[in-house]
């Protein structure tokens, strides 16, 4: 589902609020040239992620789903000196493109891409006793979202933020009879978030360059 007005407004908001950024433009261009799907967050969504990271003073960020590193750059730029971002990616080709983009952005000293199924990487992080993450951005395979959210709850602290992307699915998330695995995965994660005793959360519908979708934002409590 799309509407030319949504794209026009997104373009206006980008031009009005966000400065020109050749590094981010080159990141998208390289991702397309490498054949990666055009499913990156939009510029205004990237800016929202960065603002959330800045608002919580994030020093450690976990990203589940790297693609070409576009959202990774937005998030990593919010880190203070000594901050750390770990991004989990299953596809070695995607990781190669993302690492190249992070190097060009001057962020490869603070942003690391780990290649493996995200569930395996999450288990390894938990087993290693990793320090809690201040922000987790979940943007990978949608059927696994509830599992990723559960893992995120074991890797965060009170005051951390968990963001789950693409939960509205062109409005199909309201259809309990849907057989689409991505829709079912979105329903499972939203219901898991809503039932979790340690979070306060909301979800927002969005329209724009990425069509009709939305995201969930959860605040971890004690």
3-state secondary structure of 80: coil
3-state secondary structure of 2: coil
Rounded to 5, what percent of the chain is helix, strand, coil? 45, 25, 30
* pLDDT of 211 higher than 90: yes
Distance CA 40, CA 52 (A): 18
* pLDDT of 2 higher than 90: no
Return the residue matching tokens 């942003």: 111
- Domains of the chain by residue range: 4-220
**pTM for this entry:** 0.96
Nearest Cα to Cα of residue 28 among 61, 62, 79, 72? 72
Distance CA 47, CA 139 (A): 16
- Confidence at 152, pLDDT banded by 50, 70, 90: very high
Average pLDDT of 195-219? 97
Average pLDDT of 155-176? 98
* pLDDT of 1 higher than 80: no
Average pLDDT of 161-178? 98
Distances (CA, A) of 74 to 35, 45, 106: 21, 9, 12
* pLDDT of 12 higher than 90: yes
Phi, psi dihedrals of residue 42, rounded to the nearest 5°: -75, 165
The per-residue pLDDT for range 26-49, each reduced to its tens digit, is 999 999 999 999 999 999 999 999
Fold of 4-220: Rossmann fold (3.40.50)
The per-residue pLDDT for range 56-65, each reduced to its tens digit, is 999 999 999 9
């Amino acid at each position: 589902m799309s509407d030319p007005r949504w794209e026009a407004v997104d373009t206006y908001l980008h031009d009005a609020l966000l400065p020109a950024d050749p590094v981010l433009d080159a990141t998208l261009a390289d991702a397309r040239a490498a054949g990666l799907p055009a499913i990156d967050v939009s510029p205004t969504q990237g800016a929202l992620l960065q603002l959330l990271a800045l608002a919580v003073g994030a020093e450690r960020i976990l990203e589940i789903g790297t693609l070409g590193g576009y959202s990774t750059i937005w998030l990593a730029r919010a880190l203070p000196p000594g901050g750390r971002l770990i991004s989990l990616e299953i596809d070695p080709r995607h990781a190669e493109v993302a690492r190249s983009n992070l190097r060009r952005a001057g962020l490869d000293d603070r942003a690391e891409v780990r290649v493996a199924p995200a569930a395996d990487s999450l288990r390894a992080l938990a087993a290693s006793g990793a320090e809690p993450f201040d922000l987790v951005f979940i943007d990978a395979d949608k059927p696994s979202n509830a599992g990723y959210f559960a893992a995120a709850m074991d890797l965060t602290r009170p005051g951390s933020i968990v963001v789950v992307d693409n939960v509205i699915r062109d409005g199909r998330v309201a259809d309990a009879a849907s057989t689409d695995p991505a829709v079912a995965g979105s329903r499972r994660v939203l219901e898991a978030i809503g039932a979790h005793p340690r979070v306060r959360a909301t979800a927002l519908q969005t329209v724009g360059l990425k069509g009709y979708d939305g995201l969930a934002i959860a605040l971890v409590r004690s």
